[in-house]
Amino acid sequence: MTEYEHARQAYAAYGVDTEAAISELKDIPVSIHCWQGDDVVGLDGGGAASGGIQTTGNYPYRARNFEELKADIKKAFSLMPGKKRLNLHASYAVGAKVDRDEYKSEHFADWVKFAKELGLDGIDFNPTMFSHKNVKDGLTLSSPDETIRKFWIKHCIACLKIAEYFADEFKNQCTVNIWIPDGFKDVPADRLFPRIRLKNSLDEILSSGYNKSKVIVAVESKVFGIGVESYTVGSNEFYQNYAAKNNICCLLDNGHYHPLEYVSDKIPALLAFYDTVALHVTRGVRWDSDHVVLFEDELKEIAKEIVRNGATQKVKIALDYFDASINRLSAWVTGQRAMQKALLNALLINHKELAELQDKADFTALMVRQEEYKTLPFGAVWKEYLKRQGLEEEYLSAIREYETQVSKERV
Ligand code: RNT
Ligand code: ZN
């Protein structure tokens, strides 16, 4: 008996069909961020990430231009199993001679061509409201300066149009995620009016007449950023209420809450009210540090909440991390595979049986059962999934080879 056949039987004893799990996993889209490849620098001259986020590390060979970024994405994506989407920031516009408020679909046509060549499921999009001269005194959509606020409103509206173009090209919905860095380092004198201005800005953006069947608009809250420790305009309560009242989507980034708040618990809370929930899967170490996603307990819980609630298509999974201290392709692949592992792990659980134990209040059996799952032969099923995706567990040698043959030229 092969390792996989043995595993298949072991799971069958729990009422779990490994074949069904493998088949479902390959159809769950995961949106992969382009910004791990270049430390969130972008292609439009904005420069290193600012606005409370920071990429740390000095590993060499960062992609310095469109061609290098595409080559790195192509290589990294070739080592990732499953259904992949590309998540772009507006700052990755190609050859734009205009400012961000005038970006058009033509500035992203080369990305569409590239994503089609790779056979990706689609493209998701993000207005880039950081690393730009119009982030005035740390503020964008909540700025008291009307010229600044209008500039960013125009940018977001431009992004919605570009998102419609992506949706048309791939014949599926494009998620547009709005995150702003706005906030204050120290105790503010006014916490309300920046939020009222943000609300007005969002109202203007949403009333631009974008196509709701093509574009999902999400808003991403945050508790604090580096240099923005005392007050964040786009807080959790602000955006959840805004999203609920305006019928848009909340995006939960698991680096954006107090360390004892869990996104795995927030997902079902939102699923009780929303058709769509968006995620930025990351790994915060002590703060929103955006470490590479790993196959850890909280990631496993996040995946369980998606799978057991039948929400694999409702929850828009996107990755969001950037590590410049290790090989960037390896960072990409390790994080994407960790997400896939967590989803597979969740698909290999008999959730119905566990829920019944909970409802019967048999917490003794529930605990014992949940512990048993932890030592089932997960690795054999994972390897079988990879094999069927034309991949192996080992990917580092391919990355090392690419490093010596391609990346080493970048000095
Ligand atoms: C920042 C947010 C945001 C960014 C990306 C680059 O804290 O998580 O999503 O990481 O847009
Ligand atoms: Zn995020």
Summarised one tens digit per residue, pLDDT across range 54-101 is 999 999 999 999 999 999 999 999 999 999 999 999 999 999 999 999
Q: Which of 135, 156, 179, 321 to mutate to test the pocket of ligand 1 (most atoms within 8 A of CB)?
A: 179
Cα(2) to ligand 1 centroid in Å equals 43
Protein residue whose Cα sits closest to atom 9 of ligand 1:
179
Q: Strand 123-126 vs strand 84-89: parallel, antiparallel, or unpaired?
A: parallel
Closest ligand 1 atom number to CA of residue 282: 8
Query: Does residue 149's CB lie within 6 angstroms of at least one atom of ligand 1?
Result: no
Cα(28) to ligand 1 centroid in Å equals 22
Closest ligand 1 atom number to CA of residue 253: 8
Q: What are the residue ranges in the chain where pLDDT is below 50?
A: none
Query: Does residue 318's CB lie within 6 angstroms of at least one atom of ligand 1?
Result: no
Closest ligand 1 atom number to CA of residue 40: 6
Query: Does residue 320's CB lie within 6 angstroms of at least one atom of ligand 1?
Result: yes
* 155 contacts 163 by C-beta, under 8 angstroms: no
- What does the alpha-carbon distance between residue 93 and residue 73 come to, in Å, rounded to a whole number? 16
Q: Which of 36, 280, 282, 322 to mutate to test the pocket of ligand 1 (most atoms within 8 A of CB)?
A: 280
Which residues are known to be catalytic?
179, 220, 222, 253, 256, 280, 288, 290, 320
**The pLDDT of residue 48:** 87
Cα(322) to ligand 1 centroid in Å equals 10
Q: Which residues pair with 178 in a beta bridge?
A: 219
**The pLDDT of residue 274:** 98
Buried b (16+ CB within 10 A) or exposed e, 35-64: bbbbbbbbbbebeebbbbbbbeeeeebbbe
**The pLDDT of residue 70:** 98
Taking the CA of 319 as reference, the closest ligand is 2
- What does the alpha-carbon distance between residue 4 and residue 9 come to, in Å, rounded to a whole number? 9
Cα(264) to ligand 2 centroid in Å equals 16
**The pLDDT of residue 50:** 86
Query: Does residue 254's CB lie within 6 angstroms of at least one atom of ligand 1?
Result: no
**The pLDDT of residue 411:** 77
Distances from the Cα of 258 to the Cα of 100, 122, 224, 232, 300, angstroms: 33, 32, 9, 13, 19
Cα(296) to ligand 2 centroid in Å equals 19
**The pLDDT of residue 270:** 98
- What does the alpha-carbon distance between residue 50 and residue 41 come to, in Å, rounded to a whole number? 10
**The pLDDT of residue 301:** 98
* 58 contacts 325 by C-beta, under 8 angstroms: yes
Cα(7) to ligand 2 centroid in Å equals 36
Protein residue whose Cα sits closest to atom 1 of ligand 1:
53
**The pLDDT of residue 52:** 87
Q: What is the pTM of this model?
A: 0.98
Protein residue whose Cα sits closest to atom 10 of ligand 1:
320
Query: Does residue 35's CB lie within 6 angstroms of at least one atom of ligand 1?
Result: yes
Query: Does residue 288's CB lie within 6 angstroms of at least one atom of ligand 1?
Result: yes
Query: Does residue 38's CB lie within 6 angstroms of at least one atom of ligand 1?
Result: no
